[in-house]
Structure 1
Amino acid sequence: MTYATGHPVRAVGGRLILDFVNTADWTASGTIAHEKIESTDDLAVWLRALGLGEARPSTSLPELIRARFLFRQALTTGRISGDLGDLLTRSRAPCAVSGGDLHRQASRRPLLDLFAASFLSIGADARETARLKICPGRDCGWLFIDETRNARRKWCAMETCGNRAKATRHYDQHRKTRSAPA
């Protein structure tokens, strides 16, 4: 699936809240380099791609985008701002779902409740927070849980940021070799 801009929807974070935060590319300073969800249509595409087509956006798109920033800030700093604390207090994330298909029941919840539950599950598990990483790719800044055995995953996805970094490194080495005095 692709957004209206033609960019493919990619879920590489390993957790719902990380994939939501990753709907933007981030600079090293934490500002948005490229927005993926520019409209409610883009949000609907993203939700369908993640199997959440029945989730209810219980708030406006600008409020969801603001919440995304607050979640990312908390995940990268380990501190919950007052605004995010208010959002988490209002969410019904811990409420139980009963009867029927668990995924279907959960996917019908308001989006902010689903995001809050995912966020809280990462924070509640020290192993998750210890393996939470930020992709160092240029203007990427995507978050992911490193689930490799040796915890040495570096890139959000090797086929994008990892390959770009390797190609840049190769180009730089080749350029240095060619410009070195003989």
Structure 2
Amino acid sequence: MANSSANGAGFRTAKPSFELIAGHPALDLINTLDWRFREEPPPEELLNDFDDLAHFVEQSGLMSNVQVRRMLRNVSANKGGQVIESVRELREAAARVLYAVLDGKDPSASSVKLLERYFREARESQHLHWNGNKLAWELTQSPAPAELLLWLLSLRAAELMTSDEMHSLRECGNAECRWLFLDTSKNHTRRWCDMKICGNRMKARRFKAQHRG
């Protein structure tokens, strides 16, 4: 659920706007394949190119606008294409694991192995530095390699999927949507990705069914 436009140079005249409703960047990433479980029309890809990916990372608060603009100026089309393909592969592996969990199944060993590779590569790209108060792990950001976006998302996915926040993992009640989110509501009763979208849509569908005929 994002909108964007492009000019003749291949850069956006307006940044794509993502609906970040999940409560965690890793889950928002999975939601960038919109209507994942819909048969017709097919699911909608929201990360169509490296530009989309860079703006998703910016809007998720993982990089600043200045960092994103500098990266977009310096990343080649070939390298950008490689990174977006890797991010989609990371996204789909994480999706397979998380939806298996929600369905009460064990995730496939191949998906876990793929995530392990991405998580390990991201961790190996960190270096230890002194931030004035303590030692901290940090990814190389200047000059920012295109892979930085992949590493940032990999680390956030690893953070979530190895944490107790997994107990709050939920999915939208619309069977064609099933967007993921962390249920932080007081009574843990959240049912929809966004009440304005799927909540109202499903209420209208039930109303029509009840009054049909």
Give the TM-score of the pair, scaled to structure 2. 0.66
Find the counterpart in structure 1 of residue 3 from structure 2.
Answer: 3
Q: How many angstroms apart in 1 are the aligned matches of 2:125 and 2:83?
A: 22
What residue identity is the alignment partner of 1:14? G
Mean alpha-carbon deviation: is it higher for 151-160 or for 138-147?
A: 138-147
What is the deviation of 1:136? Answer: 2.6
Q: Aligned pairs, how many?
A: 169
Tell me: CA distance 1:130–1:94, structure 2 relative to 1, closer, same or farther (3 Å).
farther
- Residue 125 of structure 2 contacts residue 140 of structure 2 at CA under 8 Å; is this kept in 1? no
What is the deviation of 1:48? Answer: 3.0
* Residue 123 (structure 2) pairs with residue 85 (structure 1): no
Q: Percent identity?
A: 26
Q: How many angstroms apart in 1 are the aligned matches of 2:139 and 2:19?
A: 21
What whole-Å deviation, never above 9, does each CA across 1:40-95 have from its counterpart, x for those lacking one?
A: 22223323322324366795211211111011112222435222221112112794
Question: Which of the pair has the greater relative contact order for Cα pairs under 8 Å at 6+ separation?
Answer: 1
Q: How many angstroms apart in 2 are the aligned matches of 1:155 and 1:72?
A: 18
RMSD: 3.2
Mean alpha-carbon deviation: is it higher for 69-78 or for 51-60?
A: 51-60
Q: How many angstroms apart in 2 are the aligned matches of 1:58 and 1:117?
A: 21
By percentage of residues, which structure has more strand? 2
Please state whether the residue corresponding to 2:181 is helix, strand or coil: strand
Mean alpha-carbon deviation: is it higher for 5-14 or for 79-88?
A: 5-14
* Residue 98 (structure 2) pairs with residue 60 (structure 1): no
Any stretches of 5+ residues in structure 1 without a counterpart? none
What residue identity is the alignment partner of 1:10? E
Give the TM-score of the pair, scaled to structure 1. 0.76
* Residue 174 (structure 2) pairs with residue 137 (structure 1): yes
Find the counterpart in structure 1 of residue 210 from structure 2.
Answer: 173
